[in-house]
Amino acid sequence: MSLRPFRDISRKKTKVINVGNVKIGGDNPISVQSMTNTLTTDVKATIKQINDISEEGADLVRVSCPDEKSTFALKEISRHAPVPIIADIHFHYKRAIEAAENGAKCLRINPGNIGNKQKIYEVLSAAKNNNCSIRIGVNAGSLEKDILEKHKEPCPEALVESAIRNIKILEDHNFFNFKVSVKSSDVFLSIAAYRQLSKICDYPLHLGITEAGSFASGSIKSSIGLGALLLDGIGDTIRVSLSDDPVKEIKIGNEILKSLNLRNRGVKIISCPSCARQAFHVIDTVKILENKLSHIKTPITLSIIGCVVNGPGEAASTDIGITGGGKGSNMLYLSGIQTEKILTKEIISKVVSLVEKKASEIKNI
């Protein structure tokens, strides 16, 4: 039994683009991505981090390419990466060409920042010849000088104007395999800019609250910003930007999508905050279960409730449920039905065994 959403989110239909073997836009699943923070020239460390990020559930990984050594390192990195690699390019057009030729499946770049029409043409030719897409990455902290002077400060209109300017550059060169972002560290500014852009743009949108901050504050800001837009049906790929391990960015990104029933990957745990009524240590139990069940990728719902007040109700809507009882005896529910009593000391092993069994059964269907 799976949780049924109270209502379905109606996503805006955008154009479909390809980032390697990942399709973005249209009816395709909203993809989750992060960015490595290793030196790209340290190929071994970068590949390891990409593998760690991918294992957590990333569909795409971005790698910084600030110099020639980094772009040439992409050849080895992309060969071993389990997911498509996005090259982060800012100003030098040659880095973009090198990245496309060395395995990148997407270039994060603003065409207006890389020079004259000839340089833009060379970059787009390299992208076309190597089946490489582009992300127009507008950021409130790096708007074009004339746009910033016109609007006096970063505002939704300024971000959208920059995006439209860069979109036109690509369209004028008959290049259409691209997505767009209009990011800011300000939640309100980001939401307003994306909403404005979504009304006039059918290209897939990459959502993010840039430079959101530390794990706690950044996760909250990203959840509010991305959540508001996703509820509006806006967004085709997301990145949570945290001053922390990039693996955690993927975890939070997937949790945001899971909470909105936009993506179901892994075990969704419903648990109470615990109180004096709890018959077992809920907080510790959930922490241990999260760790022991992190390898499960199959969508499964699990409720861990410390007492009988809300326990039976939550268990009725989950695949597996535990409700705390008296004297160390707790009730196990399977598909909402009371099954057996289990001792507190047996909860962890029993739940892990049941979840793994359930995951195996679903795979074999």
pLDDT per residue as tens digits for the range 246-299: 999 999 999 999 999 898 888 999 999 989 899 999 999 999 999 999 889 899
Together in a domain, 130 and 55: yes
Fill in the amino acid letter for 25.
G
| 254 shares a domain with 112 | yes
Q: What percent of the chain is modeled with pLDDT above 90?
A: 84
What does the angle CA 40 – CA 183 – CA 172 come to, to the nearest 5 degrees? 85
Residue labelled with tokens 């030098």: 92
- Residue 220 and residue 133 in one domain: yes
- Could you tell me if 312 and 324 are in contact, meaning their C-beta atoms sit under 8 angstroms apart? no
Domain boundary among 219, 243, 259: 259
Contact 233, 11 (CB under 8 A): yes
Task: Name 137's bridge partners.
Answer: 181
Q: Which has more pLDDT, 132 or 113?
A: 132
Per-residue pLDDT at 1 exceeds 50: no
Mean pLDDT score of the chain: 93
State pTM to two decimals: 0.89
Distance from C-alpha of 296 to C-alpha of 320, rounded to nearest angstrom: 14
Mean pLDDT score, 113-125? 87
pLDDT of residue 7: 60
1 within some domain? no
Q: What pLDDT, on the 0 to 100 scale, is given for residue 5?
A: 47
C-alpha dihedral over 303, 306, 308, 314, to 10 degrees?
-20
Q: For residue 52, is it within any domain?
A: yes
Determine the structural domain holding residue 50 and report its residue range: 17-259
| Domain harbouring 158, CATH code | 3.20.20.20
Q: Is 283 part of a structural domain of the chain?
A: yes
> Which of 259, 289, 313 represents a domain boundary (last residue)?
259
Collapsed DSSP state (helix, strand, coil) of residue 282: helix
Q: Residue 11 domain-assigned?
A: no
Residue where a domain stops, chosen among 259, 280, 313:
259
Output the six-digit token pair for 318. Answer: 């989950």
Instruction: State whether 231 and 317 are in the same domain.
Output: no
Residue 4 lies in a domain: no
For 176-221, the pLDDT digits (tens) are 999 999 999 999 999 999 999 999 999 999 999 998 899 999 999 9
Joined tokens for residue 5: 């959403």
Q: Report d(CA 332, CA 303) in Å as an integer.
A: 10
Output the CA torsion sign for 188, 194, 197, 198. Answer: negative
Summarize pLDDT for 31-85 with one digit per residue, the tens: 999 999 999 999 999 999 999 999 999 999 999 999 999 999 999 999 999 999 9
C-alpha distances in Å from residue 259, one per residue of 74, 125, 242:
35, 41, 19
Q: Do 330 and 324 contact (CB within 8 A), yes or no?
A: yes
Same domain, yes or no, for 291 and 338? yes
CA distance 67 to 193: 31
Residues 235, 141, 106, 82, CA torsion sign = negative
**pLDDT tens profile 331-356:** 999 999 999 999 999 999 999 999 99
Q: What is the mean pLDDT of residues 140-155?
A: 92
Residues 185 and 316 in one domain: no
Distance between CA atoms of residues 79 and 103, nearest Å: 7
Domain count, the chain: 2
Q: Which helix (H) or strand (E) holds 31?
A: strand 31-35
